[in-house]
Amino acid sequence: MKSALILNAPAWRQMRRDHEARVRPWIEPRLRRMSLQQKHPVDDFLFEYYPNRPAKLLLWHPGLGVVLRGEGCEEYLAITGYRREGDGVMVDPAELPEKRRTFPRWLAGFLMAAANRPAVFGCFGLHEWAMVYRTQETRHSWPLRVSGDELASAVESLGLRCTHYDAFRFFTTEAVPLNKHSLTRETTIDFEQPGCLHANMDLYKWAFKLAPFSSSELVADCFELARDIRTLDMQASPYDLRELGYEPVRVETPEGRAEYESRQRDFSRRAAPLRENLIALCQELIAPGVEVG
């Protein structure tokens, strides 16, 4: 095992301040909206679909292999996963509660399956279109920028090729049989692939679920990626969000599809090292001597 990095109070306190400064611009607008009972279809998703409270995102953790020393470090002993290390504290995989020990093993396999599968592009974000296909109901309280007939025509002419069950499960009954794949919760691992916007957005979920063993830097990196992805997700949707400053990516046109795929490929490249870091973290959390297939 490699030697631990030792951080004295001035160093780790500065890192904590830097983290807080980074995430506050994401958190504070959310808290203001909550106090005013206002909704935002892009940014609220990251706090409502992903159950990580703003306070948890703000809380800084150094991650594995780091010893915190100096005044104030003992406050971390109140958090499950930390233990004393000499005159300091650190997170230790041995402190992972027994009931959580199967999770990193499962997650390592899940993420490796996605990482080893070829990236698939060309879905053009039509999952949001499929969620309102042939229905009068919408999932967001914002107007559509296309008519019902235009929406249906785009879905039917372009086809649905969603590979992510947690998007597919919200398709309308009429849209489900139009998808290339028949997805189920049980077969999620068979279809997850690194080109999918939602699979890459979910890296944020996996990062915060591994806290405090995951570093707050990794969690924030994953959040930032998820926030950028969600922006494209809704720009490519049939909703009109120009009032909020989001110009549509008109995937019903060749130009819009080209822009969508270009940005989708960029997100896939950004997600790759984050996925690898999560896999490595899971492997460190698994009991010594256990191989991950």
- Which token pair is 269? 């490249």
Instruction: Report pLDDT for 170.
Output: 96
- Which residues are within 8 A (CB) of 241 and not within 5 positions of it... i.e. 6 or more apart? 41, 42, 142, 234, 235, 248
Burial 201-215 (b: 16+ CB within 10 A, else e): bbbbbbbbbbbbbbb
pLDDT < 70: residue spans in the chain: 1-2, 287-293
pLDDT at 137: 86
Residue 2: predicted pLDDT? 63
The per-residue pLDDT for 136 is: 87
Instruction: Convert the pLDDT of each residue in 273-288 to its tens digit.
Output: 999 999 999 999 986 4
pLDDT at 205: 98
pLDDT at 291: 40
Question: What's the predicted TM-score (pTM) here?
Answer: 0.94
Closest CA to 90 of 71, 70, 76, 104: 76
Q: What is the CA radius of gyration of the chain?
A: 21
